[in-house]
Amino acid sequence: MAARGKGLGWATRPLLWVVQTWYLDGRRWVRALRRNPVRVVFPSRQVVERKPGPGKQPQRAAAEASPYEPRPKQPLQVSPSQTPCTWEESGLRYDKAFPGDRRLSSVMTIVKSRPFREKQGKILLEGRRLIADALKAGAVPKVFFFSRLEYIKELPIDKLKGVSLIKVKFEDIKDWSDLVTPQGIMGIFAKPDHVKMTYPETQLRHLLPLLLICDNLRDPGNLGTILRSAAGAGCSKVLLTKGCVDAWEPKVLRAAMGAHFQVPIVNNLDWETLPNYLPTDTRVYVADNCGLYAQAQMPSKASDHGWVCERRLSKLHNYEEEDDDLEPGASKAWLPELEVQSYDLDWTEAPAAVVIGGETHGVSLESLQLAESTGGKRLLIPVVPGVDSLNSAMAASILLFEGKRQLRVRAEHSSRDRSYH
C-alpha cells in the first residue's frame, strides 16, 4: 500500500512541473506585453517586427502583432456631442454661449415686443417643424439658438449660410420659450413679405375665390385659429386691419400651427387701402353682431328659425341706440342698408370676402360701408335662442367652410352641364 502511494506520488510529480511551466510561460507573456517589445517571436519561429507609437495601450500592441493579416482600419465614428465646431464640407460654424452671454436675452426682448418687432422687422419662430416650414416658404433667417447640434443639422445647409448659429443651454431656451414643452431651437427671421413667399403647391392648387378680412380682432388665440381655418378652407388671402393683434405674435403663431406659411397674410391695413387688395368684382359679406337696425331688416323666416344675435355692442350699435331718440320722421340714411341673409344660402356666385369682427367691439362701420359699396350682405348663423353667440374663430370657420361647400357644389354642377352638352 505504501509502495502504491509512493508510486502515485512520483507519477503526479511531473504533472505539477507541467502546470508550473505553463504558469511561468503565461507570466512571461504578460511581462512581455507590459514591456511593449519591438520584436515578437512566435513558437512557429515567425518573427514580427513592431514599432510602437507613443502612448499605445498594451492590448492594442498585442492585437496588431497578430500573425494573421491585419484588418483595415475603420474610420473613427464621432458622436454628435464630439462633433467639432466646423463642418468641413459646408464651411458652417457655430458659437457656444458662455455663462453671462446676453445675446439670447437681448434678442428675445426685442422680438417679443410688437413696437420693436415692427421697428426691427424681425420675428421669432420656435420649434423644428415651424422653422422648417418657414425656410421652405422662403423666409430669411438671421439667428438660430439651439441646444443640440442635431436640430441644426436637420435644416437645409444652403439656408444656413450667413446665419448666426449660437449653441446655448436648454435651460436658457426654456426660460424664454412660450411652449409647454420647448423643442430646443429658436430662430430669428426677417419679417416675411407675402409677395416674396413661396407657398406649397398643394395649397396653391386648392385656392378658392374666397378672402377673409379680420376687423379689430384682438385675441391671439382666436386669430391663430382663424388663420388655421383659412388655410384649411383654401382662402386665397387673409387681410388684417389696424387694431388687430399682430399676426406674428408668438401666441398667434402657436395657435396657427404653420398656417402663416400656407396662406398669404397682409397685416396692419387701413380701410382706405384695403380695397386695393381685393380682386375685381369682389363682394364683401359681413358676419355682423346683430344690432337693432339689422333686427328690423331680418326676414320673418329667419326669426322663425330662432336666429338670435350677439348682444356685445359695437360702436355701430351705440349709434343705433342713439337714433331711438330721434323723432319718428327722422331718417337713418347714414347707416349702410345691408340685407340680412342666412349663411347657408348661396353667396359665392362672385368672388367673396368675409369680414369677421372682434368679440368685444364687433365689426366697424367702415366694414359695413365697404360691404354696401360692393353689393354684399350680412350673414347670420342660426343658434338656439338664449345662447349669447359663437366666438369669432368658430363663426369664421363655419362661414369659410360653407363658402367652400357652395363653390364645390357650383363646380360640380358646371362640370355636369358641360358633360351633357
Residue 230 CA to residue 243 CA, distance in Å, equals: 20
pLDDT value at residue 36:
61
How far is the C-alpha of 120 from the C-alpha of 108, rounded, in Å?
Answer: 12
CB atoms under 10 Å from CB of 12, counted, come to 9
Q: Report pLDDT for 41.
A: 74
Q: Looking at residue 352, what is its pLDDT?
A: 97
Higher pLDDT, residue 181 or 36: 181
Structure confidence by residue, pLDDT tens digits, 358-379: 877 788 999 999 999 999 999 9
Question: Is residue 396 over pLDDT 50?
Answer: yes
Range from 40-54, 162-176, 280-294 carrying the lowest mean pLDDT:
40-54
> What is the Cα 296 distance to its own chain's centre?
46
* List of residues 6+ apart from 366 with CB closer than 8 A: 271
How far apart, in Å, are the Cα atoms of 150 and each of 75, 155, 172, 186?
Answer: 21, 9, 18, 14
Q: How far apart are CA 51 and CA 325, in angstroms?
A: 109
The span from the CA of 289 to the CA of 301, in Å, is 19
- Residue 92 is predicted with a pLDDT of 81
The per-residue pLDDT of the chain, averaged, comes to: 78
Model confidence at 316: pLDDT above 60: no
When pLDDT is cut at 50, 70 and 90, the band that residue 39 belongs to is confident
Per the model's pLDDT, the better-predicted residue between 55 and 167 turns out to be 167
pLDDT of 415 strictly over 90: no
Mean pLDDT for the stretch of residues 159-169 = 92
**Mean pLDDT over residues 322-333, rounded?**
48
pLDDT of residue 320: 46
Mean local confidence (pLDDT), 2-8: 48
Which pLDDT score is estimated for 144? 96
Quickly state the pLDDT bin for 116 (edges 50, 70, 90).
Answer: confident
Query: SS3 for 302?
Result: helix
pLDDT at residue 314 in the model: 38
| Phi, psi dihedral angles at 212 (to 5 degrees) | -125, 130
Q: Is pLDDT above 60 for 114?
A: yes
C-alpha cell at position 328: 319718428
Strand, helix or coil for residue 345: coil
Closest CA to 352 of 333, 367, 374, 368: 374
Average pLDDT on 219-227 reads: 96
Q: What is the mean pLDDT of residues 373-396?
A: 89
Give 333 or 105, the one with higher predicted confidence.
105
Mean pLDDT of the 76-94 span: 53
105 has pLDDT over 60: yes
Give residues with Cβ within 8 angstroms of 173, minimum separation 6. Answer: 104, 145, 146, 147, 182, 184, 185, 186
DSSP string, 207-231: --SEEEEEES---HHHHHHHHHHHH
Question: How many angstroms separate the CA atoms of 177 and 126, rounded?
Answer: 8
104 pLDDT more than 50: yes
pLDDT at 100: 79
Domains annotated on the chain, with CATH:
86-190 (3.30.1330.30), 201-291+338-417 (3.40.1280.10)
pLDDT bucket at 51, cuts 50 / 70 / 90: low
- Check pLDDT > 60 for residue 30: no
Task: Give the tens place of pLDDT for each residue, 255-307.
Answer: 999 999 999 999 999 999 999 999 999 999 999 755 434 444 454 433 333 33
Sign of torsion over alpha carbons 204, 208, 213, 219: negative
Q: Which of 45-49, 56-60, 227-231, 343-347 has the lowest mean pLDDT?
A: 56-60
* 60 band by pLDDT with thresholds 50, 70 and 90: very low
